[in-house]
Amino acid sequence: MVARVLTARHEALPLARPFRISRGVKTVADVIVVEIVQEGIVGRGEGVPYARYGEDVAGSLAALQAVGDAIRAGASREDLLRAMSAGAARNAVDCALWDLEARLSGRRVFDRLGLPDPLAPVPTALTVGLDEPDRMRAAAHELRDAPLIKVKVDASDPAAQLRAVRDGAPHPRLIVDPNESWSLDEVRDLQDLMVDLRVDLLEQPLPAGQDEGLRGFVSGIPIAADESLHTAQDLGDLPDGYSVVNVKLDKTGGLTAALELRDAAQARGLGLMTGCMISSSLSIAPALAIAADSAFVDLDGPFWLAEDRPGGIANDHGMLVPPRTDFWGGSV
């Protein structure tokens, strides 16, 4: 029998500044950290319970406790796909097992997946949070040399918000994220403006479950599904107005299921975006395996923290510099 020691804990990571979206304001990132020890080797993973999906810290810790005996006895990542629901708890333990397997085998995760290691820096979206248009313009101006900006908007005055951001940053590519706050009328009425402002992607404009209006809808720019899609099993119900899917490990419940979603989405001809919650670099490192195949990468979560984990990712003017090779996924 495999002998493992499993620990799971909550960590509250203060943000350097408030993060505002249409659903509210965040000042602290509450994360779950899982560590699994086997033969003296430690594997780590992190998940972010998200209230939008009915998750909280206590429920995530309880879910981990419920499968604790199985994990300690040697349960595999595939076993967890059957034993746990998709979400932050499964993400944390799945990624911890990937890390543990790599360190025990001496073969890094990225090597096992046929990816270059270390990965080269990749452009990541840097986020302009929801605010008054003048403040959004100023925030965008600070990011004017970045390759990609993601702008959070709502339904109060999205045209003014978008114009302000483009005025502050004339050159970067743009992702517009209303976080489910628009109606189909806004999607239609803002099409010309978004085309004029050279928006590259519109992310989840309509509420999940209320996006049937996108079935057969022809948009002037690609529309990405975020809250409307969690795992590969959701693809069959996705309206065809979506041409991109946002893969987040906290939604899929880990890297194992994220790879399954990646493959299924590509088989359907859908483009990929890799996203994240506000988190530490321990959440981001596994997501780089999906980012390698993504047209859009949005992994700036740790850049909002007052302090990230040592050895994590870095921001070089909008280029995501991967973590140290011994940070997650094995060592060299």
Domain membership flag for residue 29 = yes
DSSP H helical ranges for 84-223 = 88-105, 109-112, 133-142, 158-168, 184-189, 191-196
Question: Does residue 166 sit in the same domain as residue 37?
Answer: no
Annotated catalytic residue 251: no
CB atoms within 10 A of CB 113: 15
Question: Does residue 75 sit in the same domain as residue 198?
Answer: no
Domain membership flag for residue 231 = yes
Question: Does residue 162 sit in the same domain as residue 220?
Answer: yes
Question: Does residue 78 sit in the same domain as residue 142?
Answer: no
Q: Which helix (H) or strand (E) holds 11?
A: strand 5-21
Question: Does residue 126 sit in the same domain as residue 93?
Answer: no
| Cβ pair 181, 155 in contact under 8 A | yes
Question: Does residue 294 sit in the same domain as residue 157?
Answer: yes
Question: Does residue 301 sit in the same domain as residue 191?
Answer: yes
| Cβ within 8 Å of residue 236, ≥6 positions away | none
Residue 269's domain comprises: 122-321
283-295: per-residue pLDDT in tens? Answer: 999 999 999 999 9
144-199: per-residue pLDDT in tens? Answer: 999 999 999 999 999 999 999 999 999 999 999 999 999 999 999 999 999 999 99
Domain membership flag for residue 91 = yes
Token pair listed for 267: 């088989």
Question: Does residue 208 sit in the same domain as residue 291?
Answer: yes
| pLDDT tens across the length of the chain (332 residues) | 678 999 999 999 999 999 988 888 899 999 999 999 999 999 999 999 999 999 999 999 999 999 999 999 999 999 999 999 999 999 999 999 999 999 999 999 999 999 987 789 999 999 999 999 999 999 999 999 999 999 999 999 999 999 999 999 999 999 999 999 999 999 999 999 999 999 999 999 999 999 999 999 999 999 999 999 999 999 999 999 999 999 999 999 999 999 999 999 999 999 999 999 999 999 999 999 999 999 999 999 999 999 999 999 999 999 999 999 999 999 76
Q: Which residues pair with 127 in a beta bridge?
A: 150
Question: Does residue 149 sit in the same domain as residue 21?
Answer: no
Distance between CA atoms of residues 55 and 201, nearest Å = 28
Question: Does residue 102 sit in the same domain as residue 126?
Answer: no
Q: Residue 37 CA to chain centroid, in angstroms?
A: 26
Token pair listed for 22: 């249409």
- Give the gyration radius of the chain's Cα atoms: 19
SS3 66: helix
The pLDDT score that the predictor gives to residue 332 is 60
The pLDDT score that the predictor gives to residue 1 is 61
Q: What is the CATH number of the domain that holds 78?
A: 3.30.390.10
Domain membership flag for residue 116 = no
| Cβ pair 28, 278 in contact under 8 A | no
Taking 3-state DSSP, the helix, strand and coil percentages for the chain, each rounded to the nearest 5, stand at: 35, 25, 40
Annotated catalytic residue 26: no
Domain membership flag for residue 332 = no
Token pair listed for 258: 């994220």
Domain membership flag for residue 273 = yes
Q: Which of 53, 74, 108 is a domain's end point?
A: 108
CB atoms within 10 A of CB 92: 32
Q: Sign (positive/negative) of CA torsion 104, 109, 113, 114?
A: negative
Domain count, the chain: 2
Burial class for 280, CB neighbours closer than 10 Å (0-12, 13-18, 19+): buried
Which residue type, as a one-letter code, is found at position 302? P
Q: Residue 208 CA to chain centroid, in angstroms?
A: 17
Domain membership flag for residue 113 = no
Question: Does residue 147 sit in the same domain as residue 280?
Answer: yes
Domain membership flag for residue 331 = no
